[in-house]
């Protein structure tokens, strides 16, 4: 089952129907009361046990003027939706988070899934008749950040440098439109970047920007600009990204940015829209050990979806040096049902790194691995991406299961690739990281440095 299939009033243009509001890690790190305590005492109440779970995992989207269809701030509001919420929470459909639980790497930064105990607490509360309890037990209300702020601002302060796309007039009606202006980075010296965040304008841009990627262009010896990598990838449902402490992305003086923005009209004019890229740099003089880049890794082969049909494609990638996989994000449109990423090691062993079933193009989540589990791949390892597509009536997101669909870049066409952040290692660097990790794990000191903090649970 995909997402909220049984919802009767699903919007007709699901991909474009949502604006974005994703929690900052600071909010996600809010403590919740121990469900074990609640269950022991046998009287789970809204004020004491449920409100903290909602604050930490639901209200970012379910509050006035956010993406959720209703607010879940007060007891009265939540009570009305208690049984529906019980259903969705127990099936792990809310909060929306599509990494499969139980297979592949589970230690992810900014993980907003509920723990089994939190789910049990929520279910026990509804089954007990959704009692309010003593309002004095309520945690203080959360102070939500200003939506005009950068999402990483709580952790890092305002960005050191901001690059804007050229203004674009988004029409009220029509199909998908692409906008690919080139702009200078505005940097007059080389800089090592440690964090990026791309954001559409607020509020209108968050409705009409389907995705926006700033690609980095560098001047070649022949005097032409060539695409080096993508600095950050924005799609609905995405937060900014902090690199691991030992890695950085290099921006050189005189590099250019080529924006690749995909707009989708929503019924009203949005004049002069601009997308912004915020960049946080390492301190002056800091030489990072390794270079990281974020690139798109394609899945090859035909995606020919006949009426009622399914398809599968794969992509294979290898490097001539050791690498570390820092993050994974599947990308497709309404037919992509699932995508896995596997490592085939030089000795033939195969490891499932991550699996996303019930992919939902409305929620683009980059799964950033915790420092001590980010896969370290020796030279010669092959990364295999496998995507499965569904054009059957089972898939309620397909606009029409009675017609053919093929590869293309419009919202209703299908496409598929994964965004993967890769840190490029030397042989010595690889050996050292493997040994250091083994030592840390042996001494029980896992977790590590350089992260974006807080796993939300």
Binding residues for ligand HEC, rule: CB under 6 A, are: 4, 7, 10, 18, 57-58, 60-62, 67-69, 81, 84-85, 88-89, 94-96, 114
Q: Is the peptide bond before 223 cis (omega within 30 degrees of 0)?
A: no
- Please, which residue, 288 or 332, has the CB nearer to ligand HEC? 332
**Sequence-distant (≥ 6) Cβ neighbours of residue 103 within 8 angstroms:** 352, 355
Nearest distance in Å: CB 231, ligand HEC: 24
Could you give the angle at the alpha carbon of 231 between the alpha carbons of 251 and 24, nearest 5°?
120
Nearest distance in Å: CB 251, ligand HEC: 31
Nearest distance in Å: CB 56, ligand HEC: 9
**Contact criterion met (CB below 8 Å) for 382 and 344:** yes
- Please, which residue, 239 or 418, has the CB nearer to ligand HEC? 239
**Sequence-distant (≥ 6) Cβ neighbours of residue 223 within 8 angstroms:** none
- Please, which residue, 124 or 257, has the CB nearer to ligand HEC? 124
CA distance linking residue 32 with residue 365, whole number of Å: 23
- Please, which residue, 62 or 331, has the CB nearer to ligand HEC? 62
Only one residue has tokens 């952040």, namely: 421
CA distance linking residue 199 with residue 258, whole number of Å: 15
CA distance linking residue 299 with residue 316, whole number of Å: 8
- Please, which residue, 111 or 273, has the CB nearer to ligand HEC? 111
- Please, which residue, 73 or 277, has the CB nearer to ligand HEC? 73
Nearest distance in Å: CB 369, ligand HEC: 21
- Please, which residue, 78 or 418, has the CB nearer to ligand HEC? 78
Torsion of CA 88, 89, 90, 92, to 10 degrees: 90
**Contact criterion met (CB below 8 Å) for 118 and 49:** no
Q: Is the peptide bond before 95 cis (omega within 30 degrees of 0)?
A: yes
Nearest distance in Å: CB 51, ligand HEC: 12
- Please, which residue, 61 or 247, has the CB nearer to ligand HEC? 61
Nearest distance in Å: CB 14, ligand HEC: 7
Listed residue (313, 312, 310) closest to 299, CA to CA:
313
**Sequence-distant (≥ 6) Cβ neighbours of residue 224 within 8 angstroms:** none
Nearest distance in Å: CB 197, ligand HEC: 17
Could you give the angle at the alpha carbon of 307 between the alpha carbons of 406 and 266, nearest 5°?
60
The tokens of 82 are what?
């208690």
**Contact criterion met (CB below 8 Å) for 423 and 368:** no
Nearest distance in Å: CB 86, ligand HEC: 8
């Amino acid at each position: 089952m995909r997402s909220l299939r049984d919802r009767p009033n699903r919007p007709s243009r699901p991909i474009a129907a949502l604006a974005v509001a994703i929690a900052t890690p600071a909010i996600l790190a809010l403590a919740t009361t121990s469900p074990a305590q609640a269950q022991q005492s046998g009287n789970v109440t809204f004020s004491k046990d449920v409100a903290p779970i909602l604050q930490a995992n639901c209200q970012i989207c379910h509050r006035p003027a956010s993406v959720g269809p209703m607010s879940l701030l007060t007891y009265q509001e939540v009570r009305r939706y208690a049984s529906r919420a019980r259903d969705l929470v127990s099936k792990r459909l809310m909060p929306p988070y599509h990494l499969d639980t139980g297979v592949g790497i589970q230690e992810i930064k900014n993980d907003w899934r509920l723990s089994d105990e939190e789910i049990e607490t929520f279910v026990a509360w509804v089954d007990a008749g959704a009692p309010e309890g003593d309002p004095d037990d309520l945690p203080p209300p959360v102070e939500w950040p200003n939506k005009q702020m950068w999402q990483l601002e709580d952790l890092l302060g305002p960005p050191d440098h901001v690059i804007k796309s050229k203004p674009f007039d988004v029409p009220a009606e029509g199909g998908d439109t692409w906008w690919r202006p080139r702009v200078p980075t505005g940097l007059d010296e080389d800089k090592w970047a440690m964090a990026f965040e791309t954001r559409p304008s607020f509020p209108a841009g968050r409705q009409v920007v389907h995705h926006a990627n700033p690609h980095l262009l560098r001047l070649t010896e022949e005097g032409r600009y060539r695409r080096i990598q993508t600095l950050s990838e924005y799609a609905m449902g995405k937060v900014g990204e902090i690199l691991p402490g030992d890695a950085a992305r290099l921006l050189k003086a005189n590099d250019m940015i080529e924006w690749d923005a995909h707009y989708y009209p929503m019924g009203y004019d949005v004049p002069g829209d601009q997308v912004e890229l915020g960049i946080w740099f390492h301190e002056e003089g800091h030489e990072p050990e390794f270079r990281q880049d974020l690139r798109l890794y394609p899945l090859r082969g035909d995606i020919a979806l006949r009426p009622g049909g399914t398809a599968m494609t794969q992509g294979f990638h290898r490097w001539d040096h050791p690498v570390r996989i820092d993050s994974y994000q599947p990308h497709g449109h309404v037919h992509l049902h699932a995508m896995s990423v596997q490592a085939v090691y030089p000795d033939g062993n195969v490891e499932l790194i991550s699996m996303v079933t019930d992919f939902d193009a409305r929620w683009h989540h980059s799964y950033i691995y915790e420092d001590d589990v980010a896969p370290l791949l020796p030279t010669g390892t092959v990364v295999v991406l496998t995507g499965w597509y569904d054009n059957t009536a089972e898939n309620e997101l397909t606009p029409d299961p009675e017609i053919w669909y093929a590869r293309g870049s419009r919202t209703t066409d299908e496409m598929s690739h994964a965004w993967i952040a890769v840190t490029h290692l030397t042989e010595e660097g690889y050996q050292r990281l493997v040994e250091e990790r083994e030592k840390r794990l042996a001494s029980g000191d896992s977790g590590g440095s350089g992260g974006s903090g807080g796993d939300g649970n």
